[in-house]
Structure 1
Amino acid sequence: MTTATTPIDQLSAEFAQGGPTATLAKAAEILKQQRKYHELFEVLKMQLRHRLSLPITGGEVADDLSEATRNALEEGLVDACRQVGTLLLEQGSVREGWMYLRPVGDKKLAQSLLEKIEADEENSEDLIEVCLHEGIDLGRGFELVLDSYGTCSAITTYDQSVARRPAEEQVPAARKLLERVHRDLVASVKTDIARQEGAQPKESTLAGLLADRDWLMQEGTYHLDTTHLASTVRIARVFNDRADVEKALDLTAYGLRLAEQFQYQGDEPFPATYPHHKLFFSALLGRDIDAALQHFREKAELLDVQYNGTVAIDVYVDLLRRLGRPGEALREAIRMSPAAGQPAGLSLSLLQLASEAGDFESLMHYCRERGDLLGYTAALVRSAK
């Protein structure tokens, strides 16, 4: 008996013994062995259509399919995408693998596969694109930007891409920046102290290193790009974790000691970058809460939303919420909500605040007064739950 030696011969033999079903299975097996994953995807689609008694080429699929058949076809195509996308990522093909996994919508699967791919000069751009810009692993993607392009480019990337996402999604990327800047600044200050004192300092925080060493900051001295420091402090407002907030507060301890020319003006309601961020971070840590609330309440009340938008109200309301006062946050958000015709909306929705406060009556009353049918409906339905 002649042995089938080529893939074509194997397919012919398989067809003679098992027909179309066996032939398609053999073709999938061969293509998987050859790592021809794009062709494998086409065969998997053929298998699916054959199993559903449909013509094996997509162009021949009728439009009048039953709902059950159409659902089975869609589910099968998603599964084929999952299979091929997984195989491609397992071999390190980042962009191609993601092309197939994107319609699957399984970010956890994509992230777990991407974690196994070591970054190098050839794939770093693809990893940045998928991890960062596609939102699969913001922390890793942003760290790759830091490693590949430096802090300045990373901050620009953050402001252009990451900052548009909800605050909780920004945290992994912001943490990479905070850790890098804080680590580098501490190391630089320690090196300066060791050079001038002849021994490595024992302190591990910037506040500790600066204490009783006024000479460190004389004559406009700085130990890290001051614009990077200011940007990192600004970005650190997304943090709730105590360790992150303490590290951000430590950066303000250094920033406050910088010379006047490096005391950059910030955006409202943080016009004095380091003093006002110190207030904010301290409050999150349970310190000087009254002073912080007074400052941000005054900003929220005094700044004209026509020119400044609602950012000051956002910050004040969000601070109240993060301090464990959702009911007060809801009342203040309603009280300060812009009048009709003015810039609208809080970044933190009133519905979310009402849910956290367990107070839907206040929100429904507010919506009734404004004639807000949609808001009233949402509050009414959520109150039932």
Structure 2
Amino acid sequence: MSTDTSTDFDLLKSKNEEGGVDAMLEALVEQLRAKRQPHQLFEALKMQVRQQMALPLQYTEQSDDLTDEQREQLENGLLEACREVGAMLLKDGQIREGWMYLRPVGDREAASAMLAEIEPDDENLDDLVEVLLGESVDVARGFRLVIENFGICNAITTFESQLGNHGRREQQAAAGLLVRHLHHELCENLATDIGRQEGATPTGESSIRSLVADREWLFNENTYHVDTTHLSSVVRFARLLDDPETLRLALDLTEYGRHLSTQFQYQSDEPFADNYPAHAIYFRGLLGEDVDQAIEYFGKKAETVDQGEFGTLAIEVFVDLLSRLGRHQEAIDAAIRLSPADARPLGIAPSLLELSQRAQQFDQMLDFCRQQNDLLGYATGLAYHAAKK
């Protein structure tokens, strides 16, 4: 080893002699930052925090007997260390390791911003998808990467297998991406087919409805222009959407589905058994078009669909539709009148409490809970009723 006093080791020794352990640890931290050695830096930062608190530099099972205030101070110091080291690793492209340190910090917004600076490539794509989508750091971007790099088939599988446990906003973001992607692909494929058969590719047409109008020959001999199972799945996912622009694209997709050969118009579960026509009624209702027709159609389904075969899906769809249309009082009435007392909610419709909050009236909920001998529900309703006064 060199005896030059400018070496890192000699600097640490001199700092320790001149300023003690505090000065030596500060020098060590600066060295490791400069050398970009994140794992060693984390250990150094941990020692620095413990030194500042007059704790033993290394944790042992017997070493820490902390007050609540000291424990909070130690935890905050360690979280700051995690934040710094995680950021360093992300900037150096080490995505999984960086997130390992950032996960305890819980600042997904900051992590998302740092990951936004990383361009996907063959080396990091899997790690990006795992952290963005699997760890819910930025579900929309992670799902977009799946579509762009692995195709819509994989994206649909991912939606089915991973998005069920995510919040509605994240599900909506992913469903919107699928709708826009499939709509764009279908419009391109239709325009290409029209150009091949008519000798001129239509320009300026951005809707499926206009492309297929007066062109029934597009569907001769059971022809289709996108995978019909993908179409059915994406239309089903689109029920989650609230955004009018994307809902219109979903409605446009149903127009294509209705032109397909009957063998490709796959039956769905009630109340959407008549797949594309039923979804078209639903989407138009959400868009404020033919609202009465939508309420009548899905109200009748809620009344008549066999619960033994299909469960309470038709009821929840109807209650949710009413609530999304701003008819919260009607939604409460329908939920109380139609829902079996022992039914386990599917999570499609808002709960009776949520509906009561939206309607700003709790009397029906309180009466219903009394009838059902539901003490917990009754107490919850009382609490929210008191809070709104």
Name the structure 2 match of 1:310: 312
In 2, distance between residues paired with 1:9 and 1:346?
64
CA distance in 1, matches of 2:346, 2:218: 45
Percent identity, aligned pairs only? 48
Contact 1:45 1:80 in 2 (8 A): yes
Q: Tell me the amino acid that sits aligned with residue 22 of structure 2.
A: T
Write the mapping of 1:114-263 to structure 2, written as runs, cut at 5 A: 114-202=115-203, 203-263=205-265
Contact 2:29 2:41 in 1 (8 A): yes
Displacement of 1:61: 5.8
C-alpha distance in structure 1 between counterparts of 2:189 and 2:294, whole Å: 31
Residue correspondence of structure 1 range 241-320 to structure 2 within 5 A:
241-320=243-322
Q: 1:349–1:141: structure 2 CA closer, same or farther, 3 Å change rule?
A: same
Distance change (3 Å), C-alpha of 1:184 and 1:61: farther
Question: Could you tell which deviates more after superposition, 59-68 or 71-80?
Answer: 59-68
Does structure 1 residue 58 correspond to structure 2 residue 66?
no
Instruction: Classify 1:344/1:178 alpha carbon distance in 2 versus 1 (closer, same or farther; 3 Å).
Output: closer
Give 1:17's aligned amino acid: E
AA of the residue aligned to 1:83: E
User: Judging changes above 3 Å, is the alpha-carbon distance between structure 1 residues 29 and 369 closer, same or farther for their aligned structure 2 residues?
Assistant: same
Determine if contact 1:313/1:346 at 8 Å carries over to the other structure. no
8 Å contact from structure 2 (residues 83, 105) kept in 1: yes
Equivalent of 2:365 in 358, 363, 366: 363
Using the TM superposition, name which of 274-283 and 296-305 deviates more: 296-305
Match of 2:79 in 1: 78
What is the alpha-carbon distance in structure 2 between the residues aligned to residue 230 and residue 135 of structure 1?
A: 26
Alpha-carbon displacement from aligned partner over 1:256-280 (angstroms, at most 9, x marks no partner): 0001111101122111210110011
**Cα distance change, pair 349–63 in 1 and its aligned pair in 2 (3 A):** farther
Tell me the matched-pair count: 383
Contact 2:341–2:372 under 8 Å retained in 1: no
Q: If the length of structure 2 is used for normalisation, what is the TM-score?
A: 0.94
Distance 1:71 1:173 in 2: 38
Deviations 1:92-135 (A, max 9, x none): 11101110111111111111111111111111111111111111
Tell me which amino acid in the other structure corresponds to 2:210. G
Worse-superposed segment, 49-58 or 286-295? 286-295
What amino acid maps onto 1:227 in structure 2?
T
Q: CA deviation at 1:60?
A: 5.3
Unaligned residue ranges in structure 2 (runs of 5+): none
More moved, 66-75 vs 241-250: 66-75
* Corresponding residue SS for 1:59: coil
Q: Which residue of 2 aligns with 1:88?
A: 89
Secondary structure in structure 1 of the residue aligned to 2:57: coil
Partner-residue secondary structure (3-state), 1:161: helix
| Paired residues of 2:269 and 2:310 also in contact (CA < 8 A) | no
Contact 2:369–2:375 (8 Å) recurs in 1: yes
Q: Match of 2:244, as an amino acid?
A: R
Q: In structure 2, do the counterparts of structure 1 residues 72 and 305 end up closer, same or farther at CA, with 3 Å as the change threshold? A: farther
With over 3 angstroms needed to count, the CA separation of the structure-2 counterparts of 1:174 and 1:99, relative to structure 1, is same
CA separation in 2, counterparts of 1:159 and 1:193?
Answer: 33
Q: CA offsets, 1:313-336, max 9 Å, x none?
A: 221111111111112112211222
TM-score w.r.t. the length of structure 1 is 0.95
Cα deviation, residue 12, structure 1? 0.8
Distance 2:346 2:163 in 1: 21
Matched-pair contact (CA < 8 Å) for 1:284–1:323: yes
Aligned to 2:28: 27
Answer whether contact 2:55 2:64 (CA < 8 A) is retained.
no
Cα contact 1:55–1:61 (8 A) shared by 2:
no
Q: Distance in 1 between matches of 2:330 and 2:34?
A: 63
Partner of 1:5: 6
User: Structure 1 unaligned runs (5+)?
Assistant: none
CA distance in structure 1 between the aligned counterparts of 2:179 and 2:54, rounded to whole angstroms: 57
* In 2: Cα distance, 1:26 partner to 1:10 partner: 8
Name the CA distance, whole Å, in 2 between partners of 1:166 and 1:368. 31
Equivalent residue letter for 2:230: H
Query: 3-state SS of the aligned residue for 2:268?
Result: coil
**Which amino acid in structure 1 is aligned with residue 281 of structure 2?**
L
Any conservation in 2 of the 1:338–1:344 contact (CA below 8 Å)? no
* TM superposition outliers: structure 1 runs of 4+ over 6 Å: none
Counterparts in 2 of 1:344 and 1:173: CA distance versus 1, 3 Å: closer
C-alpha separation in 1, matches of 2:357 and 2:110: 32
Amino acid at match of 1:148: N
After superposition, the C-alpha distances for 1:178-211 in whole angstroms (9 at most, x for unaligned) are 1111111000001111112222213210001111
How far 1:345 sits from its partner (Å)?
A: 6.1
> What CA deviation, in whole Å up to 9, does each residue of 1:162-181 have, x standing for no partner?
13323222111112211111
